[in-house]
A = this chain, B = another copy of it.
């Protein structure tokens, strides 16, 4: 139980059941977008009979959608991936039955929720009797050291994605910039800090699940364990420094990953923290506050603004990018719409200064 996740040989039935078009379906979205070869089928009775691209065109996936575990078995999955991230991380009641049916069908169960599959007595005993694995990618390693400052000795540039809120595209931006960097012959490494990133890369720690005293230590360990042949580390950010609920996680990464540079992610038009009444500061204030805080810890500067313009027309997206550049004096782009090439060049600039 709780074995470490590897991406090798995976073939998932992705269970979204009502979350496919929802922000809580972002775990499913990430795996479908970045590991399409691992997605055999999606289970979501609301959209059964369609293909994923009919429901969420931006995912560009032809994976079939079916209504039940029984139908999904025709596509020969080897695992059921619980493809949603609920607030608080409990197993949603409507997913219990498909999880139990999947166990009965011999599928391993892979989850990124806070709630541990093996702590659920019904799921655990059923899995044990069927001999299937329960893999909780959210659960961190048992022994995480305290932050020591060893990350300050890392000589490769460390770039952290920060943002104006949760769910403004920090993970996607970071993955797209990594992709553009590799396409340009660079050796960037995406460092996963959340469950979806772990499912995509087979590495990382879901830092929001770490005991608070050790969250900076977890971020530091991620930096220290980067591949030896990477030449720039792109750390996936979480939350926002002004988020009333999740800022502690954000600071775990902001201080613990010891960045040299920041990418500020935002969704144009977002005025309030999702689910709360707090207003989001303007981009200039966000840049300023990150840099002021880090000034006393390890100075870093913001090198670009990353926009999620998926809800805008082409013209409106173009205007939003120009406006962000005027507002901050920094390069801006949407790496999903326009590829990560322009933003990669900002990252690459850090290498030439070494």
Contact of A217 among B245, B255, B256, B278 (CB under 8 A): B245
Whether the pair B245, A255 counts as a contact (CB closer than 8 A) is yes
Chain B residue nearest to A249 in the complex (CB): B212
Whether the pair B212, A208 counts as a contact (CB closer than 8 A) is yes
Report chain B residues within 8 Å CB of A242. 293, 296-297
Chain B residue nearest to A276 in the complex (CB): B149
Whether the pair B255, A281 counts as a contact (CB closer than 8 A) is no
Whether the pair B241, A247 counts as a contact (CB closer than 8 A) is no
Q: In the docked arrangement, what's the CA distance between A255 and B298, Å? A: 23
- Give the Cβ gap from A330 to chain B, nearest Cβ, in Å: 21
Report chain B residues within 8 Å CB of A146. 87-88, 245
| Interface residues in A, total, Cβ within 8 A | 43
Q: In the docked arrangement, what's the CA distance between A278 and B149, Å? A: 10
Whether the pair B211, A211 counts as a contact (CB closer than 8 A) is yes
Whether the pair A278, B252 counts as a contact (CB closer than 8 A) is no
Q: In the docked arrangement, what's the CA distance between A278 and B216, Å? A: 15
Whether the pair A255, B247 counts as a contact (CB closer than 8 A) is yes
Task: Name the residue among A215, A249, A296 with the largest chain B CB count within 10 angstroms.
Answer: A296
- In chain A, positions 205-225 with a C-beta closer than 8 Å to chain B are 207-213, 215-217
Contact of A251 among B114, B248, B277, B292 (CB under 8 A): B248
Whether the pair B248, A114 counts as a contact (CB closer than 8 A) is no
Task: Name the residue among A145, A243, A298 with the largest chain B CB count within 10 angstroms.
Answer: A243
Asked if A147 lies at the interface with its beta carbon under 8 angstroms from chain B, I say yes
- Give the Cβ gap from A237 to chain B, nearest Cβ, in Å: 14
B-contact bits for A61-89, CB 8 A (1 contact / 0 none): 00000000000000000000000000111
Whether the pair B209, A213 counts as a contact (CB closer than 8 A) is yes
B-contact bits for A176-213, CB 8 A (1 contact / 0 none): 00000000000000000000000000000001111111
Contact of A297 among B87, B211, B213, B278 (CB under 8 A): B278
Q: In the docked arrangement, what's the CA distance between A149 and B244, Å? A: 8
Asked if A23 lies at the interface with its beta carbon under 8 angstroms from chain B, I say no
- Contact (A215, B293) CB under 8 Å given A87-B146, A145-B88, A149-B276: no
Q: In the docked arrangement, what's the CA distance between A276 and B251, Å? A: 17
Asked if A289 lies at the interface with its beta carbon under 8 angstroms from chain B, I say yes
Q: In the docked arrangement, what's the CA distance between A151 and B240, Å? A: 20
Further 4 A-B residue pairs, CB within 8 A, beyond A88-B146, A208-B213, A248-B252 = A88-B145, A149-B277, A212-B248, A251-B251
Query: Which residues of A are at the interface with B, using a C-beta cutoff of 8 A?
Result: 87-89, 114, 145-147, 149, 207-213, 215-217, 241-249, 251-252, 255-256, 276-281, 289, 292-293, 296-298
Pairs across A and B, CB under 8 Å, 30 listed = A87-B146, A88-B146, A114-B211, A147-B245, A207-B212, A208-B211, A208-B212, A209-B211, A210-B211, A210-B212, A211-B211, A211-B212, A213-B245, A213-B246, A213-B249, A215-B248, A216-B246, A217-B245, A242-B297, A243-B255, A244-B297, A244-B298, A248-B249, A248-B251, A248-B255, A251-B251, A278-B296, A280-B296, A281-B296, A289-B293
